[in-house]
Structure 1
Amino acid sequence: MDFSNQTVVVTGGTGALGIAVVNTLLDAGARCVVPYINDAEAKALAQHERLQLVRCDLSDEAQVAALYSGITDLSASIHIAGGFAFAPIAESDKEVLMRMVNMNLVSTYLCCREAVRAFGERQGRIVNVASRQALEPRAGKYMTAYTASKAAVAALTQALAAEVAPRILVSAVAPSIIDTPANRTAMPDADYTQWPKPAEIASGIVFLASGANQLASGAIVPIYGAA
Protein backbone atom coordinates (compact mmCIF):
# COMPACT_ATOMS: atom_id res chain seq x y z
CA MET A 1 0.00 0.00 0.00
CA ASP A 2 1.24 3.43 -0.93
CA PHE A 3 0.55 6.39 1.37
CA SER A 4 2.98 8.78 -0.31
CA ASN A 5 1.91 12.44 0.07
CA GLN A 6 -0.95 11.44 2.37
CA THR A 7 -1.54 12.66 5.92
CA VAL A 8 -3.02 10.30 8.48
CA VAL A 9 -4.04 11.08 12.07
CA VAL A 10 -3.42 8.19 14.46
CA THR A 11 -4.80 8.59 17.97
CA GLY A 12 -3.31 6.25 20.54
CA GLY A 13 -0.22 6.22 18.38
CA THR A 14 2.10 5.95 21.38
CA GLY A 15 0.67 2.61 22.58
CA ALA A 16 1.66 -0.87 21.48
CA LEU A 17 -0.93 -1.14 18.70
CA GLY A 18 -0.59 2.53 17.77
CA ILE A 19 3.18 2.28 17.34
CA ALA A 20 2.70 -0.69 15.01
CA VAL A 21 0.17 1.29 12.95
CA VAL A 22 2.33 4.42 12.81
CA ASN A 23 5.42 2.47 11.78
CA THR A 24 3.47 0.65 9.07
CA LEU A 25 2.17 3.96 7.72
CA LEU A 26 5.58 5.61 7.80
CA ASP A 27 7.05 2.66 5.93
CA ALA A 28 4.32 3.18 3.32
CA GLY A 29 5.26 6.86 2.90
CA ALA A 30 2.59 8.55 4.99
CA ARG A 31 2.86 11.69 7.07
CA CYS A 32 1.53 10.83 10.53
CA VAL A 33 0.02 13.22 13.06
CA VAL A 34 -0.09 11.61 16.52
CA PRO A 35 -1.79 13.32 19.49
CA TYR A 36 -0.46 12.51 22.94
CA ILE A 37 -0.75 13.51 26.60
CA ASN A 38 2.01 11.61 28.36
CA ASP A 39 5.56 12.77 27.54
CA ALA A 40 7.10 9.44 28.48
CA GLU A 41 4.76 7.56 26.15
CA ALA A 42 5.47 9.99 23.32
CA LYS A 43 9.15 9.12 23.57
CA ALA A 44 8.27 5.52 22.70
CA LEU A 45 7.88 6.63 19.09
CA ALA A 46 11.13 6.98 17.22
CA GLN A 47 11.67 10.42 15.70
CA HIS A 48 10.89 10.63 12.01
CA GLU A 49 10.76 13.53 9.56
CA ARG A 50 7.19 12.58 8.58
CA LEU A 51 5.97 12.19 12.17
CA GLN A 52 4.34 15.07 14.04
CA LEU A 53 3.50 14.72 17.73
CA VAL A 54 0.80 17.07 19.05
CA ARG A 55 -0.18 17.39 22.70
CA CYS A 56 -3.95 16.96 22.87
CA ASP A 57 -6.63 15.81 25.31
CA LEU A 58 -8.95 13.83 23.03
CA SER A 59 -11.93 14.29 25.35
CA ASP A 60 -11.64 18.08 25.01
CA GLU A 61 -13.73 19.37 22.11
CA ALA A 62 -11.66 22.49 21.49
CA GLN A 63 -8.35 20.66 21.58
CA VAL A 64 -9.54 18.03 19.11
CA ALA A 65 -10.81 20.74 16.77
CA ALA A 66 -7.43 22.45 16.95
CA LEU A 67 -5.64 19.17 16.23
CA TYR A 68 -7.42 18.78 12.90
CA SER A 69 -7.75 22.44 11.95
CA GLY A 70 -4.24 22.75 10.56
CA ILE A 71 -4.47 19.64 8.37
CA THR A 72 -5.41 20.48 4.80
CA ASP A 73 -4.60 17.16 3.14
CA LEU A 74 -6.07 14.56 5.49
CA SER A 75 -6.60 11.21 3.79
CA ALA A 76 -7.40 9.00 6.78
CA SER A 77 -8.07 9.19 10.51
CA ILE A 78 -7.41 6.17 12.71
CA HIS A 79 -8.76 6.16 16.26
CA ILE A 80 -6.97 3.72 18.56
CA ALA A 81 -6.88 5.81 21.75
CA GLY A 82 -8.98 4.43 24.57
CA GLY A 83 -8.98 2.88 27.99
CA PHE A 84 -9.91 -0.27 29.86
CA ALA A 85 -11.42 -0.96 33.26
CA PHE A 86 -11.91 -4.39 34.80
CA ALA A 87 -14.57 -3.46 37.31
CA PRO A 88 -17.65 -5.44 38.41
CA ILE A 89 -20.68 -3.18 38.29
CA ALA A 90 -21.33 -3.48 42.04
CA GLU A 91 -17.89 -1.99 42.62
CA SER A 92 -18.16 0.67 39.91
CA ASP A 93 -19.32 4.21 40.45
CA LYS A 94 -20.30 6.83 37.91
CA GLU A 95 -16.66 7.93 37.62
CA VAL A 96 -15.68 4.53 36.19
CA LEU A 97 -18.47 4.68 33.62
CA MET A 98 -17.73 8.26 32.58
CA ARG A 99 -14.01 7.55 32.34
CA MET A 100 -14.72 4.73 29.89
CA VAL A 101 -17.21 6.85 27.96
CA ASN A 102 -14.76 9.74 27.67
CA MET A 103 -11.73 7.62 26.81
CA ASN A 104 -13.47 5.34 24.31
CA LEU A 105 -16.63 6.94 22.95
CA VAL A 106 -16.13 10.70 23.34
CA SER A 107 -12.59 10.67 21.96
CA THR A 108 -13.68 8.61 18.94
CA TYR A 109 -16.78 10.71 18.33
CA LEU A 110 -14.92 14.02 18.41
CA CYS A 111 -12.15 12.73 16.14
CA CYS A 112 -14.68 11.32 13.68
CA ARG A 113 -16.46 14.65 13.55
CA GLU A 114 -13.31 16.66 12.97
CA ALA A 115 -12.04 14.17 10.39
CA VAL A 116 -15.26 14.52 8.40
CA ARG A 117 -14.87 18.29 8.53
CA ALA A 118 -11.20 18.09 7.53
CA PHE A 119 -11.94 15.89 4.52
CA GLY A 120 -14.13 18.66 3.11
CA GLU A 121 -15.43 17.51 -0.26
CA ARG A 122 -12.62 14.98 -0.71
CA GLN A 123 -12.72 11.24 -0.19
CA GLY A 124 -11.45 9.87 3.10
CA ARG A 125 -11.19 6.87 5.36
CA ILE A 126 -11.98 6.55 9.07
CA VAL A 127 -11.01 3.50 11.11
CA ASN A 128 -12.15 3.09 14.72
CA VAL A 129 -11.20 0.46 17.27
CA ALA A 130 -14.02 -1.37 19.04
CA SER A 131 -13.45 -4.65 20.89
CA ARG A 132 -14.56 -8.25 20.95
CA GLN A 133 -16.90 -7.35 23.81
CA ALA A 134 -18.62 -4.82 21.53
CA LEU A 135 -19.63 -7.69 19.24
CA GLU A 136 -20.06 -10.28 22.00
CA PRO A 137 -21.36 -8.34 25.03
CA ARG A 138 -21.76 -11.51 27.12
CA ALA A 139 -17.95 -11.72 27.09
CA GLY A 140 -17.92 -8.39 28.88
CA LYS A 141 -18.87 -9.60 32.33
CA TYR A 142 -16.96 -7.78 35.08
CA MET A 143 -16.20 -5.00 32.60
CA THR A 144 -19.65 -3.61 31.86
CA ALA A 145 -18.61 0.04 31.62
CA TYR A 146 -15.85 -0.80 29.15
CA THR A 147 -18.13 -3.08 27.14
CA ALA A 148 -20.89 -0.48 26.92
CA SER A 149 -18.47 2.22 25.75
CA LYS A 150 -16.94 -0.02 23.07
CA ALA A 151 -20.39 -1.15 21.90
CA ALA A 152 -21.17 2.54 21.47
CA VAL A 153 -18.05 2.90 19.29
CA ALA A 154 -19.32 0.08 17.09
CA ALA A 155 -22.75 1.71 16.80
CA LEU A 156 -21.17 5.08 16.04
CA THR A 157 -19.10 3.49 13.28
CA GLN A 158 -22.10 1.97 11.54
CA ALA A 159 -24.29 5.05 11.86
CA LEU A 160 -21.54 7.35 10.59
CA ALA A 161 -20.74 5.02 7.69
CA ALA A 162 -24.32 5.36 6.48
CA GLU A 163 -24.27 9.13 6.98
CA VAL A 164 -21.14 9.93 4.97
CA ALA A 165 -21.29 7.22 2.28
CA PRO A 166 -20.02 6.80 -0.36
CA ARG A 167 -17.40 9.57 -0.23
CA ILE A 168 -16.00 8.60 3.18
CA LEU A 169 -15.56 4.97 4.19
CA VAL A 170 -15.92 4.28 7.93
CA SER A 171 -15.00 0.95 9.50
CA ALA A 172 -13.78 -0.49 12.79
CA VAL A 173 -11.74 -3.42 13.97
CA ALA A 174 -12.69 -5.45 17.03
CA PRO A 175 -9.62 -7.12 18.53
CA SER A 176 -9.64 -9.70 21.27
CA ILE A 177 -6.86 -9.52 23.87
CA ILE A 178 -3.83 -8.02 22.11
CA ASP A 179 -0.41 -9.55 22.73
CA THR A 180 1.27 -6.64 24.51
CA PRO A 181 3.72 -6.56 27.43
CA ALA A 182 1.06 -4.99 29.64
CA ASN A 183 -1.47 -7.72 28.89
CA ARG A 184 1.10 -10.45 29.47
CA THR A 185 1.89 -8.92 32.85
CA ALA A 186 -1.78 -8.63 33.76
CA MET A 187 -2.54 -12.23 32.74
CA PRO A 188 0.65 -14.21 33.40
CA ASP A 189 -1.09 -17.61 33.20
CA ALA A 190 -2.77 -16.99 29.83
CA ASP A 191 -1.67 -18.60 26.58
CA TYR A 192 -0.60 -15.41 24.82
CA THR A 193 0.53 -17.34 21.75
CA GLN A 194 -3.15 -17.33 20.79
CA TRP A 195 -3.51 -13.56 21.03
CA PRO A 196 -3.36 -11.38 17.88
CA LYS A 197 -0.12 -9.43 17.59
CA PRO A 198 -0.07 -5.62 17.20
CA ALA A 199 1.58 -5.87 13.78
CA GLU A 200 -1.11 -8.28 12.59
CA ILE A 201 -3.91 -5.97 13.67
CA ALA A 202 -2.04 -2.97 12.26
CA SER A 203 -2.00 -4.49 8.79
CA GLY A 204 -5.80 -4.76 8.82
CA ILE A 205 -6.24 -1.22 10.10
CA VAL A 206 -3.88 0.24 7.52
CA PHE A 207 -5.66 -1.57 4.69
CA LEU A 208 -9.03 -0.16 5.77
CA ALA A 209 -7.45 3.32 5.91
CA SER A 210 -5.88 3.04 2.47
CA GLY A 211 -7.01 3.81 -1.02
CA ALA A 212 -6.82 0.08 -1.71
CA ASN A 213 -10.01 -0.17 0.32
CA GLN A 214 -12.67 0.85 -2.16
CA LEU A 215 -15.74 -0.82 -0.67
CA ALA A 216 -15.48 -1.76 3.01
CA SER A 217 -17.58 0.60 5.12
CA GLY A 218 -19.88 0.11 8.07
CA ALA A 219 -18.02 -3.09 8.95
CA ILE A 220 -16.88 -4.07 12.43
CA VAL A 221 -14.09 -6.52 11.61
CA PRO A 222 -13.35 -9.15 14.28
CA ILE A 223 -9.62 -9.76 14.79
CA TYR A 224 -9.49 -12.47 17.42
CA GLY A 225 -6.57 -14.66 16.44
CA ALA A 226 -7.11 -18.05 18.08
CA ALA A 227 -8.16 -16.50 21.40
Structure 2
Amino acid sequence: MDFRDRHVVVTGGTGALGRAVVGALLAAGAHCHVPYRQEREKEGLPSGALSLIPVPSLADEAAVAKLYGGLPALWASIHIAGGFAFAPLTDTSGELLRRLIDDNLVSCFLCCREAVAAMRRGRAGGRIVNVAARQALEPRTGANISASTAAKAGVAALSAALGEELAGEGILVNAVAPSIMDTPTNRRDMPKANFDAWPKVEEVAATILFLASPENKVSRGGVVPVFGASSQSAAT
Protein backbone atom coordinates (compact mmCIF):
# COMPACT_ATOMS: atom_id res chain seq x y z
CA MET A 1 0.00 0.00 0.00
CA ASP A 2 1.26 3.42 -0.95
CA PHE A 3 0.90 6.28 1.55
CA ARG A 4 3.58 8.50 0.03
CA ASP A 5 2.99 12.21 0.65
CA ARG A 6 -0.10 11.44 2.76
CA HIS A 7 -0.55 12.78 6.28
CA VAL A 8 -2.11 10.45 8.82
CA VAL A 9 -3.05 10.98 12.47
CA VAL A 10 -2.69 7.98 14.78
CA THR A 11 -4.11 8.42 18.27
CA GLY A 12 -2.84 5.83 20.71
CA GLY A 13 0.21 5.61 18.49
CA THR A 14 2.54 5.02 21.42
CA GLY A 15 0.84 1.79 22.54
CA ALA A 16 1.47 -1.75 21.31
CA LEU A 17 -1.03 -1.70 18.44
CA GLY A 18 -0.35 1.97 17.73
CA ARG A 19 3.38 1.39 17.31
CA ALA A 20 2.69 -1.42 14.84
CA VAL A 21 0.37 0.86 12.86
CA VAL A 22 2.80 3.79 12.91
CA GLY A 23 5.71 1.57 11.86
CA ALA A 24 3.75 0.15 8.94
CA LEU A 25 2.56 3.59 7.84
CA LEU A 26 6.06 5.03 7.92
CA ALA A 27 7.32 2.08 5.89
CA ALA A 28 4.57 2.82 3.33
CA GLY A 29 5.70 6.44 3.01
CA ALA A 30 3.19 8.22 5.26
CA HIS A 31 3.88 11.22 7.45
CA CYS A 32 2.44 10.28 10.86
CA HIS A 33 1.15 12.71 13.47
CA VAL A 34 0.97 11.07 16.89
CA PRO A 35 -0.44 12.80 19.99
CA TYR A 36 1.01 11.79 23.34
CA ARG A 37 0.46 12.64 27.01
CA GLN A 38 3.71 11.76 28.79
CA GLU A 39 7.33 12.11 27.68
CA ARG A 40 8.12 8.47 28.40
CA GLU A 41 5.59 7.38 25.76
CA LYS A 42 7.93 8.65 23.03
CA GLU A 43 10.69 6.18 23.89
CA GLY A 44 11.45 3.59 21.23
CA LEU A 45 9.07 4.90 18.59
CA PRO A 46 9.93 4.15 14.95
CA SER A 47 12.04 6.72 13.15
CA GLY A 48 10.95 8.49 10.01
CA ALA A 49 8.45 11.15 9.03
CA LEU A 50 6.95 11.30 12.49
CA SER A 51 5.51 14.33 14.27
CA LEU A 52 4.88 13.92 18.00
CA ILE A 53 2.35 16.34 19.46
CA PRO A 54 1.66 16.77 23.19
CA VAL A 55 -2.07 16.57 23.91
CA PRO A 56 -3.12 16.24 27.57
CA SER A 57 -6.51 14.68 26.81
CA LEU A 58 -8.26 13.59 23.63
CA ALA A 59 -11.57 14.09 25.43
CA ASP A 60 -10.78 17.82 25.68
CA GLU A 61 -12.66 19.54 22.85
CA ALA A 62 -10.35 22.53 22.58
CA ALA A 63 -7.20 20.37 22.66
CA VAL A 64 -8.46 18.11 19.88
CA ALA A 65 -9.50 21.09 17.74
CA LYS A 66 -6.01 22.55 18.18
CA LEU A 67 -4.37 19.22 17.26
CA TYR A 68 -6.20 18.86 13.96
CA GLY A 69 -6.34 22.57 13.18
CA GLY A 70 -2.56 22.74 12.94
CA LEU A 71 -2.14 19.87 10.48
CA PRO A 72 -1.40 19.91 6.74
CA ALA A 73 -3.98 18.48 4.34
CA LEU A 74 -5.08 15.28 6.04
CA TRP A 75 -5.64 11.94 4.30
CA ALA A 76 -6.47 9.59 7.18
CA SER A 77 -7.14 9.54 10.90
CA ILE A 78 -6.79 6.32 12.89
CA HIS A 79 -8.20 6.27 16.42
CA ILE A 80 -6.64 3.63 18.64
CA ALA A 81 -6.57 5.59 21.91
CA GLY A 82 -8.94 4.23 24.53
CA GLY A 83 -9.27 2.78 27.97
CA PHE A 84 -10.30 -0.45 29.69
CA ALA A 85 -11.30 -1.54 33.18
CA PHE A 86 -12.14 -4.98 34.50
CA ALA A 87 -14.95 -4.20 36.92
CA PRO A 88 -18.26 -5.93 37.68
CA LEU A 89 -21.33 -3.71 37.64
CA THR A 90 -21.50 -3.20 41.40
CA ASP A 91 -17.81 -2.23 41.51
CA THR A 92 -18.18 0.36 38.74
CA SER A 93 -18.53 3.91 39.99
CA GLY A 94 -20.12 6.68 38.01
CA GLU A 95 -16.69 8.29 37.84
CA LEU A 96 -15.17 5.17 36.25
CA LEU A 97 -18.04 4.88 33.78
CA ARG A 98 -17.63 8.50 32.70
CA ARG A 99 -13.86 8.07 32.36
CA LEU A 100 -14.28 5.04 30.11
CA ILE A 101 -16.83 6.85 27.97
CA ASP A 102 -14.49 9.85 27.73
CA ASP A 103 -11.41 7.74 26.94
CA ASN A 104 -13.19 5.68 24.28
CA LEU A 105 -16.32 7.25 22.82
CA VAL A 106 -15.87 10.99 23.47
CA SER A 107 -12.25 10.99 22.29
CA CYS A 108 -13.19 9.04 19.17
CA PHE A 109 -16.13 11.33 18.39
CA LEU A 110 -14.08 14.51 18.77
CA CYS A 111 -11.20 13.15 16.69
CA CYS A 112 -13.60 12.02 13.96
CA ARG A 113 -15.24 15.43 13.89
CA GLU A 114 -12.00 17.38 13.65
CA ALA A 115 -10.53 14.90 11.16
CA VAL A 116 -13.50 15.45 8.87
CA ALA A 117 -13.03 19.21 9.10
CA ALA A 118 -9.34 18.81 8.18
CA MET A 119 -10.19 16.49 5.26
CA ARG A 120 -12.77 18.92 3.95
CA ARG A 121 -10.09 21.61 3.85
CA GLY A 122 -8.08 19.35 1.54
CA ARG A 123 -11.14 18.53 -0.61
CA ALA A 124 -9.75 15.13 -1.56
CA GLY A 125 -11.80 12.78 0.60
CA GLY A 126 -10.08 10.64 3.17
CA ARG A 127 -10.26 7.65 5.49
CA ILE A 128 -11.16 7.23 9.16
CA VAL A 129 -10.54 4.00 11.05
CA ASN A 130 -11.70 3.56 14.64
CA VAL A 131 -10.83 0.76 17.04
CA ALA A 132 -13.71 -0.87 18.90
CA ALA A 133 -13.47 -4.29 20.57
CA ARG A 134 -14.89 -7.78 20.23
CA GLN A 135 -17.44 -6.99 22.94
CA ALA A 136 -18.90 -4.27 20.71
CA LEU A 137 -19.98 -7.02 18.31
CA GLU A 138 -20.66 -9.68 20.94
CA PRO A 139 -21.86 -7.77 24.02
CA ARG A 140 -22.74 -10.94 25.91
CA THR A 141 -19.01 -11.59 26.17
CA GLY A 142 -18.70 -8.33 28.11
CA ALA A 143 -19.71 -9.75 31.47
CA ASN A 144 -17.73 -8.07 34.28
CA ILE A 145 -16.54 -5.38 31.87
CA SER A 146 -19.93 -3.86 31.11
CA ALA A 147 -18.78 -0.23 31.23
CA SER A 148 -15.91 -0.87 28.82
CA THR A 149 -18.27 -2.88 26.61
CA ALA A 150 -20.81 -0.06 26.47
CA ALA A 151 -18.12 2.51 25.61
CA LYS A 152 -16.68 0.39 22.80
CA ALA A 153 -20.17 -0.40 21.49
CA GLY A 154 -20.62 3.35 21.15
CA VAL A 155 -17.46 3.52 19.03
CA ALA A 156 -18.81 0.78 16.74
CA ALA A 157 -22.20 2.48 16.37
CA LEU A 158 -20.55 5.85 15.70
CA SER A 159 -18.38 4.30 12.98
CA ALA A 160 -21.36 2.74 11.21
CA ALA A 161 -23.37 5.97 11.37
CA LEU A 162 -20.52 8.13 10.10
CA GLY A 163 -19.80 5.66 7.32
CA GLU A 164 -23.25 6.45 5.97
CA GLU A 165 -23.15 10.17 6.73
CA LEU A 166 -19.84 10.91 5.00
CA ALA A 167 -19.79 8.49 2.08
CA GLY A 168 -20.96 11.12 -0.39
CA GLU A 169 -17.85 13.18 0.35
CA GLY A 170 -15.43 10.36 -0.37
CA ILE A 171 -14.58 10.03 3.34
CA LEU A 172 -14.83 6.33 4.15
CA VAL A 173 -15.28 5.46 7.84
CA ASN A 174 -14.76 1.98 9.25
CA ALA A 175 -13.75 0.31 12.50
CA VAL A 176 -11.96 -2.84 13.55
CA ALA A 177 -13.01 -4.94 16.53
CA PRO A 178 -10.04 -6.89 17.91
CA SER A 179 -10.24 -9.73 20.35
CA ILE A 180 -7.50 -9.84 22.93
CA MET A 181 -4.20 -9.25 21.12
CA ASP A 182 -0.78 -10.74 21.64
CA THR A 183 1.03 -8.06 23.63
CA PRO A 184 3.56 -8.32 26.48
CA THR A 185 1.00 -6.89 28.91
CA ASN A 186 -1.68 -9.41 27.95
CA ARG A 187 0.79 -12.28 28.19
CA ARG A 188 1.78 -11.12 31.66
CA ASP A 189 -1.82 -10.77 32.81
CA MET A 190 -2.93 -14.14 31.38
CA PRO A 191 0.12 -16.42 31.57
CA LYS A 192 -1.90 -19.63 31.04
CA ALA A 193 -3.63 -18.50 27.84
CA ASN A 194 -2.95 -19.89 24.37
CA PHE A 195 -0.89 -17.03 22.97
CA ASP A 196 -0.76 -18.62 19.52
CA ALA A 197 -4.52 -18.07 19.10
CA TRP A 198 -4.31 -14.35 19.75
CA PRO A 199 -4.01 -12.04 16.73
CA LYS A 200 -0.64 -10.29 16.54
CA VAL A 201 -0.63 -6.51 16.61
CA GLU A 202 1.06 -6.50 13.19
CA GLU A 203 -1.86 -8.53 11.79
CA VAL A 204 -4.46 -6.16 13.19
CA ALA A 205 -2.37 -3.23 11.94
CA ALA A 206 -2.47 -4.69 8.41
CA THR A 207 -6.28 -4.60 8.43
CA ILE A 208 -6.27 -1.03 9.71
CA LEU A 209 -3.80 0.02 7.02
CA PHE A 210 -5.94 -1.35 4.24
CA LEU A 211 -9.06 0.41 5.50
CA ALA A 212 -7.08 3.66 5.77
CA SER A 213 -5.44 3.33 2.37
CA PRO A 214 -6.30 4.70 -1.07
CA GLU A 215 -6.70 1.06 -2.14
CA ASN A 216 -9.86 0.90 -0.04
CA LYS A 217 -12.32 2.39 -2.47
CA VAL A 218 -15.63 0.86 -1.36
CA SER A 219 -15.57 -0.34 2.28
CA ARG A 220 -17.46 1.97 4.62
CA GLY A 221 -19.54 1.70 7.77
CA GLY A 222 -18.02 -1.67 8.62
CA VAL A 223 -16.92 -2.99 11.99
CA VAL A 224 -14.43 -5.65 10.98
CA PRO A 225 -13.78 -8.57 13.35
CA VAL A 226 -10.06 -9.18 13.85
CA PHE A 227 -10.20 -12.16 16.20
CA GLY A 228 -7.62 -14.52 14.73
CA ALA A 229 -8.24 -17.96 16.23
CA SER A 230 -9.03 -16.53 19.62
CA SER A 231 -12.14 -17.70 21.43
CA GLN A 232 -11.45 -15.52 24.44
CA SER A 233 -13.55 -12.47 25.13
CA ALA A 234 -11.16 -10.28 27.10
CA ALA A 235 -11.02 -6.67 25.98
CA THR A 236 -8.22 -5.20 23.95
Task: Tell me if TM exceeds 0.5.
Answer: yes
2:201 matches 1:198: yes
- Which amino acid is 1:219 matched to? G
Secondary structure of the corresponding residue to residue 83 of structure 1:
coil
1:157 and 2:159 matched:
yes
Q: Secondary structure at the match of 2:176?
A: strand
1:54 aligns with 2:39: no
Large movers: runs of 4+ above 2 Å: none
Q: Is the 8 A contact 1:125 1:208 kept in 2?
A: yes
Whole-angstrom CA distance in 2 between matches of 1:38 and 1:86? 24
8 Å CA contact 1:127, 1:208 repeated in 2: yes
Instruction: Tell me the residue number matched to 1:63.
Output: 63
Partner of 1:142: 144
- What is the CA–CA distance in structure 2 between the aligned matches of 1:42 and 1:86, rounded to whole Å? 27
Residue 225 (structure 1) aligned with residue 228 (structure 2) = yes
Partner of 2:126: 124
User: Residue 207 of structure 1 corresponds to which residue in structure 2?
Assistant: 210
Deviations 1:146-173 (A, max 9, x none): 0000000000001111111131100000
Mapped partners of 2:216, 2:200: distance in 1:
22
Once residues 53 and 160 of structure 1 are traced to their aligned partners in structure 2, the CA distance between those partners, rounded to angstroms, is 27
Give TM-score scaled by structure 2 length.
0.94
Map of 1:12-23 to 2, 5 A cutoff? Answer: 12-23=12-23
Distance 2:148 2:37 in 1: 21
CA distance in 2, matches of 1:194, 1:208: 23
- Equivalent position amino acid for 2:83 in 1: G
In structure 1, what is the equivalent of residue 31 of structure 2? 31
Aligned length, in residue pairs: 226
- 1: CA distance, partners of 2:199 / 2:80: 16
C-alpha contact 2:76 2:126 (8 A) present in aligned 1: yes
CA deviations 1:42-61 (Å, max 9, x no partner) are 2131343x100001121111
1:122 positional shift: 2.3
| Aligned amino acid, residue 134 of structure 1 | A
Who is 2:234 aligned against?
none
Aligned to 1:81: 81
How far apart are residue 23 of structure 1 and its match? 0.3
SS at match of 1:165: helix
Residue deviations 1:101-131 (CA, integer Å, cap 9, x gap): 0110011000000000000132100000000
Q: C-alpha separation between the residues in 1 aligned to 2:184 and 2:157?
A: 30
Distance across 1 between alignment mates of 2:69 and 2:7: 13
Once the 2 structures are TM-superposed, how far is the Cα of residue 81 of structure 1 from its aligned partner?
Answer: 0.4
Partner AA of 1:2 in structure 2: D
Letter aligned with residue 22 of structure 1: V
Distance 2:204 2:113 in 1: 24
Pairwise CA RMSD: 0.8
Q: TM-score, normalised by structure 1?
A: 0.98
Rounded to whole Å, the distance in 1 between the matches of 2:156 and 2:76 is 18
CA distance in 2, matches of 1:139, 1:44: 34
| Contact kept in structure 2, 1:14 and 1:44, CA below 8 Å | no
Uncovered stretches (5+) of structure 2, i.e. residues with no partner: 231-236
Q: Distance in 2 between matches of 1:18 and 1:46?
A: 11
